[in-house]
Chain A
């Protein structure tokens, strides 16, 4: 079945450091891919999405490119802030639009 694997955390960075969170997927066909963010005590917010190969999703300085050849959708940000501290989930859209999530990566940014 469909699955998503993302790098384990926690990832701890200093403010203004470069961020990469790796995400790879296994699926039949070419699903839409998403990054969601969960701030402490809150629900999930859609961060960005890509619907086909080579699409780049971007939002709030975060970017991810849909790579069909490597079945990857890595999340990047050039300069993180303390306010980016959260849990980040990579997900794909499967049958009936159900989201299949990775395990989540905790990001901690220190000032």
Chain B
């Protein structure tokens, strides 16, 4: 059983399109995250949700909108895709939002914008 799963694994789309990435965790965790990994492998947090409430919203364009329908799911919708959005997007979850709570990562979604 995959602990943190993401769909799709690969996403190729054109500039200007709107797309969504889905994430599910079956660990019973309260907190979920989205991270972006750029082409140089640098990882940066985008958002986090705790019990469906947004608690971290880093400096991310408002074309990106996360949604958490329940504690086990965190989706990422991206409007008007740009070339610079090409990256690998990782979902993660942790038991709590408390400092030091271990995060478990999904396999990533590689988004390519052409």
Instruction: With CB as the reference atom, state the residue of chain B lying closest to A94.
Output: B99
Distance in angstroms between the alpha carbons of A43 and B106 in the assembled complex: 6
- Quick check: A97 and B103 within 8 Å, CB to CB? yes
Residues of B in contact with A, size category: 20 to 34
Give Cα A96–Cα B50 distance, bound, in whole angstroms.
Answer: 9
A51 with B48: in contact, given A43-B107, A44-B90 (CB under 8 Å)?
A: no
Per-residue interface assignment for chain B, residues 65 to 103, with 1 indicating a CB less than 8 Å from any chain A CB and 0 otherwise: 000000000000000000000000010101011111111
Do the beta carbons of A43 and B105 come within 8 Å of each other?
yes
Question: Besides A32-B100, A93-B101, 12 other CB < 8 A contacts?
Answer: A31-B100, A42-B107, A44-B43, A46-B102, A94-B99, A96-B55, A97-B100, A98-B58, A99-B43, A99-B45, A99-B92, A104-B42
Chain B residues near A (Cβ < 8 Å): 4, 31, 33, 35, 40-45, 48, 50, 55-56, 58, 90, 92, 94, 96-108
User: Using Cβ atoms and an 8 Å threshold, which residues of chain A touch B56?
Assistant: 95-96, 98
Say whether, besides A44-B90, A97-B31, A31 and B107 are in contact (CB < 8 Å): no
Asked if B100 and A98 make an inter-chain contact with CB atoms under 8 angstroms apart, the answer reads no
Is there an interface contact between A103 and B42, defined as CB atoms closer than 8 Å?
Answer: yes
Q: Is the CB of B103 within 8 A of A51?
A: no
Sorted from nearest, which 9 A-B pairs have the closest CB atoms?
A32-B100, A43-B105, A44-B105, A101-B43, A98-B45, A43-B107, A104-B41, A96-B56, A97-B97
